[in-house]
């Protein structure tokens, strides 16, 4: 942690040296006056991290000169960039993941990225290359405020509960188009099957907030049967995605969003028809989850499949 990060970590958000405009009450803010293609100072990076801890997702408009190389360079300022564990990187990049509507893909169910591994990404940096004229927005939800506002009996239930996360799940809501390309993407996504145990409530390593960890990679809760698990998943997801816990971003080409993957869920809205929607994402390595009792999340199995 740099000197600036130590100084800014507990600084009131209004005292940060940034032009911050909140977008919603509990999550999301736009930062103006910064060109992400520039070589940011340590002070700028530390202030952005502090804003991220507070707002969970932050947005930058008009980053039109922000190339793949600059995207990767920015990611390196926030930690160790990591590629997706099963999906190949975008052409010409070292670890960027491309999300392109031509491939029949829209992550239109609520999730936290890559929770099927133990040290899932801490931070994601997403940039818009092609944005639909209408539609294709992204929603984020604050999983810390969702936990804070759970009824006490529900908190008591989930505080000690653990879940099984896997990338082997129902893809029907993710790959909407039943094309050969969509089938290949599905096959690619499950080329290695992971199963990981995470606490349903984990402690954020920087803010120490308690966060709910659910989303579409959860198969079931340990100790509960499938039917009871699905009922409880539905209840928790309804609390997480209540409108007051969310923010909605209308994409323009050149926008960049940075979010704390440890404190949020997100989903795309697949309402843009045949319009082109292309984004590229960098992810920053995280650490194993930590439960309230200090126990760490753990990957239980990794099964390499041969699809040839």
Which of 111, 239, 262, 280 does the annotation list as catalytic?
Answer: 111
User: What does each C-alpha distance from 213 to 94, 159, 186, 227 come to in angstroms?
Assistant: 29, 11, 24, 19
- CB–CB of 43/64 below 8 Å? no
Q: 281 an active-site residue?
A: yes
| C-alpha closest to that of 198 among 164, 228, 240 | 164
**169 burial level (CB within 10 Å; 0-12, 13-18, 19+):** middle
141 close to 266: Cβ distance less than 8 angstroms = yes
Q: Which of 113, 118, 255, 260 is catalytic?
A: 113
φ and ψ at 177, to 5 degrees? -95, 125
- Tell me whether residue 250 is one of the annotated catalytic residues: no
Residue found under tokens 């929770």: 115
What 69-74 contacts at long range (C-beta under 8 Å, 24+ apart), as own/partner pairs, is 70/36, 70/37, 71/96, 71/125, 71/127, 71/280, 71/282, 72/96, 72/282, 74/36, 74/40, 74/125, 74/282
- ∠ CA 216-218-220, nearest 5°, is 135
Residues 6+ apart with CB under 8 A from 190: 86, 167, 168, 305
Q: Which of 262, 266, 267, 280 is catalytic?
A: 266
202 catalytically annotated: no
- Report the DSSP beta bridge partners of residue 177: none
* DSSP letter (8 states) at residue 90: P
Output the furthest CA–CA distance in the chain (Å, rounded): 56
Catalytic residue check, 266: yes
Distances (CA, A) of 298 to 103, 117, 123, 164, 220: 32, 8, 19, 10, 15
The residues that are catalytic are 111, 113, 266, 281
């Amino acid at each position: 942690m740099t000197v600036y990060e130590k100084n800014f970590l507990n600084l009131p958000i209004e005292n940060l040296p940034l032009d911050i405009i909140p977008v919603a009450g509990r999550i999301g803010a736009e930062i103006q006056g910064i060109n992400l293609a520039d070589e940011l100072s340590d002070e700028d990076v530390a202030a952005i991290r502090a804003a991220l801890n507070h707002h969970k997702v932050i947005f930058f408009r008009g980053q039109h000169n922000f190339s793949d190389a600059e995207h990767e360079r920015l990611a390196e300022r926030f930690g160790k960039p990591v590629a997706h564990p099963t999906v190949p990187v975008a052409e010409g990049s070292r670890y960027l993941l491309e999300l392109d509507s031509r491939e029949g893909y829209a992550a239109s169910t609520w999730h936290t990225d890559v929770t099927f591994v133990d040290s899932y990404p801490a931070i994601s940096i997403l940039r818009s290359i092609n944005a639909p004229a209408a539609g294709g927005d992204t929603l984020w939800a604050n999983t810390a405020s969702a936990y804070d506002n759970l009824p006490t009996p529900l908190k008591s239930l989930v505080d000690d509960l653990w879940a099984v996360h896997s990338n082997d799940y129902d893809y029907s809501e993710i790959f909407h188009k039943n094309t050969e390309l969509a089938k290949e993407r599905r096959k690619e996504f499950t080329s290695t099957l992971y199963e990981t145990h995470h606490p349903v409530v984990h402690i954020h390593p920087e803010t120490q907030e308690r966060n709910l960890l659910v989303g579409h990679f959860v198969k079931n809760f340990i100790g509960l049967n499938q039917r009871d698990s699905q009922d409880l998943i539905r209840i928790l997801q309804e609390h997480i995605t209540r409108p007051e816990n969310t923010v909605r971003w209308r994409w323009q080409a050149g926008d960049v969003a940075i979010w704390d993957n440890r404190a949020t869920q997100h989903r795309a809205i697949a309402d843009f028809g045949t319009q082109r929607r292309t984004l590229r994402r960098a992810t920053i390595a995280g650490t194993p989850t930590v439960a309230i009792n200090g126990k760490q999340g753990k990957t239980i199995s990794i099964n390499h499949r041969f699809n040839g």
